[in-house]
């Protein structure tokens, strides 16, 4: 199946399943939460828009990124002092299979993702 037909099929499924109605309701809920918590409404709306784009065009990457962000959020919201959050986020089984050079590259990429998630966390709460 061509990429165009695949995109059209997915778009039709979104319409049938009420994806856009759910997205609109979720945006309204997040706006209410933002107003209640004193968060920046515009940043919350931009984040919601970015999530929708990622979900539509890169669903697997979207799910992986959301899981990663939730882990980072748990670390940052925790009352405990976590001395090495990067290693807490790392996949230990995967790292055991890597060479030392590959481990270093994996950890540096993970640190970059962690830094971006922390910036997102602070941006949404400012």
Domain count of the fold of the chain: 1
The answer to whether residue 104 sits within a structural domain is no
The answer on pLDDT for 1 being more than 70 is no
C-alpha–C-alpha distance, residues 90 and 72, integer Å:
11
The answer on pLDDT for 50 being more than 60 is yes
Report the mean per-residue pLDDT for the chain.
Answer: 84
The answer on pLDDT for 3 being more than 80 is no
- The long-range contacts involving 44-50, CB below 8 angstroms and separated by at least 24 positions, are 44/124, 47/120, 47/124, 48/23
Domain extent for 6: 1-57
The answer to whether residue 87 sits within a structural domain is no
pLDDT tens digits, 57-108: 776 666 688 888 999 999 998 888 888 899 889 989 988 998 999 999 899 9
The answer to whether residue 8 sits within a structural domain is yes
Token output for 49? 């828009």
């Amino acid at each position: 199946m061509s990429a165009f037909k695949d995109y059209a099929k997915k778009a039709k499924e979104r319409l049938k399943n009420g994806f856009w109605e759910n997205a609109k309701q979720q945006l309204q809920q997040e706006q209410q939460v933002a107003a209640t918590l004193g968060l920046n409404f515009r940043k919350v709306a931009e984040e919601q828009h970015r999530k929708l784009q990622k979900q539509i065009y890169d669903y697997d990457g979207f799910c992986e990124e959301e899981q990663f962000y939730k882990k980072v959020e748990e670390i940052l919201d925790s009352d405990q002092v976590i001395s090495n959050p990067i290693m807490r986020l790392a996949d230990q089984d995967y790292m055991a299979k890597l060479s030392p050079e590959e481990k270093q590259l994996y950890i540096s990429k993970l640190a970059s993702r962690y830094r971006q998630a922390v910036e997102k966390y602070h941006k949404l709460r400012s």
